[in-house]
Structure 1
């Protein structure tokens, strides 16, 4: 498996099959979320309540999550839901374990993993060399890419990756995410504004505080559907090719191998595609 360090893609170096696949994700997500007309009340905090940690147990899978990464992990009616919540439950089932979700802020997840307070990190995480240097990464379970959320009236300004990468306005990203890395490395003329959650960034676009928000393609389409009444929409270009992975403590190679074996099994028997398709239309 070849991993791509996040960088801005041009039309010439972006594979047509990947491009078509991500556009298909977008089209189907617009169908899933764009017709609902729902809109967040903006009242929920992105910060988690103090987590209750439990010690390691052979009968429990402790899954660290950050509930501000829709459609991967988020809350609906106060309950955790999303693609990775479903996959975590399936993982625990196949390991004959009980799943326990440990909700943390994004920046606290990797320290919790390193300190053995959680067994696995499942929170809409992309592979990056920086993360791979400190925690073990599982086999990727799906491809994604970074996209921009913009106001509908401005879509013509951002029809190509280069037009987005060369912009001089304010660009938002969720702190600590691949989107932030991409803006830092590939948006030389922009002013980076970071947010605690993707939803805060989407609201900033709608309020005119920033011109664009950069985030994972599935999250951008989810936000576009959620905030469609505020006039936001995805810009067409996919800006990078990313791999969605989970994190495991480097001192736990047995769990890493067990998870990788499960991903391979799910991929071969169709279970992985079934669950992913339910959430992102792949």
Structure 2
């Protein structure tokens, strides 16, 4: 037997430790919490999807025009894109309406195959899922009750109560803003933006932080009820989220979005649902 020299053994031990550490660092986590254990099927999840003949997507069907319920059916921009992708794979598409606060853990316990539901790319989420390239964009903003002029800048949130949606990009960004500006701001997070809007309308909070696209729909539904107080210098890019282990599915989604962009179909659908074509990173 050939003995390994002590120095070589030490180097090997450090190399193995580094490899183990890297593997551990790559384990999916969300805000420091490990995701439920998941192992991709041996032939890949794409083969499994094609064998069952159905692609299942997790959505929050309270976010028009991305996804919402109309006449008992989930419809919207994301749904049309998901249906096109499913057809591209040769399968049907089934959306599953789910609570946004638990949508990523639900992905890992295999309630669905992907999240194509206007999910904003954030650093904490990058630790949990693989994001596709962006397929839509939006801008964060703060709204108040109509006629309220007490909030004109970010600093004016000091001493106020700000509402948003639990586990949304808006909540993550609001926490960052409060910390960066050292604000004494109470942050209330609701399961859905609709509850935050209602609390604002009823005078229970001073403001809500959401995005332009979300608020545009709100303003159409409740004209004259709210005003935009501050447009935040935060532009949100949204993308499709897949489990980190499902590299075949993430690659297929990304290639499909590239095809939609190149053909002009993505801009066409953005115009159909939002009234304009969005600016996306190259």
TM-score normalised by structure 1 residue count: 0.74
Runs of at least 5 residues in structure 1 that lack an aligned partner in the other structure: 1-55
Aligned to 2:110, the other structure's residue is in SS state coil
1:82 paired to 2:73: no
CA contact (8 A) 2:144 2:227 kept: yes
1:252 paired to 2:210: no
Q: What's the counterpart of residue 4 of structure 1? A: none
Tell me by how many angstroms 1:159 deviates. 3.9
Q: How many Å separate the matches in 1 of 2:66 and 2:229?
A: 21
TM-score normalised by structure 2 residue count: 0.74
Q: What's the counterpart of residue 105 of structure 2? A: 111
CA contact (8 A) 2:143 2:230 kept: no
Q: What's the counterpart of residue 212 of structure 2? A: 217
Q: What's the counterpart of residue 262 of structure 1? A: 256
Q: What's the counterpart of residue 185 of structure 1? A: 176
The structure with the greater share of residues assigned to strand is 2
Q: What's the counterpart of residue 176 of structure 1? A: 167
Tell me by how many angstroms 1:76 deviates. 2.2
1:67 paired to 2:64: no
Where do 1:143-154 residues align within 5 Å? 143-154=137-148
Tell me by how many angstroms 1:236 deviates. 5.0
Q: How many Å separate the matches in 2 of 1:153 and 1:77?
A: 35
Q: How many Å separate the matches in 1 of 2:159 and 2:135?
A: 35
Q: How many Å separate the matches in 1 of 2:121 and 2:271?
A: 21
Query: Between Structure 1 and Structure 2, how many residues are aligned?
Result: 223
**Higher relative contact order (CA closer than 8 Å, sequence separation 6+):** 1
Quick one: which of 160, 167, 180 aligns to 2:158? 167
Q: How many Å separate the matches in 2 of 1:83 and 1:234?
A: 24
Tell me by how many angstroms 1:70 deviates. 2.3
Quick one: which of 194, 197, 201 aligns to 2:196? 201
Aligned to 1:193, the other structure's residue is in SS state strand
CA contact (8 A) 1:136 1:250 kept: yes
CA contact (8 A) 2:56 2:112 kept: yes
CA contact (8 A) 1:159 1:237 kept: no
Tell me by how many angstroms 1:233 deviates. 2.7
Q: How many Å separate the matches in 2 of 1:137 and 1:122?
A: 10
Tell me by how many angstroms 1:249 deviates. 1.1
Runs of 4+ in 1 over 4 A off after TM superposition: none
Tell me by how many angstroms 1:186 deviates. 0.8
Q: What's the counterpart of residue 31 of structure 2? A: none
Runs of at least 5 residues in structure 2 that lack an aligned partner in the other structure: 1-47, 277-282
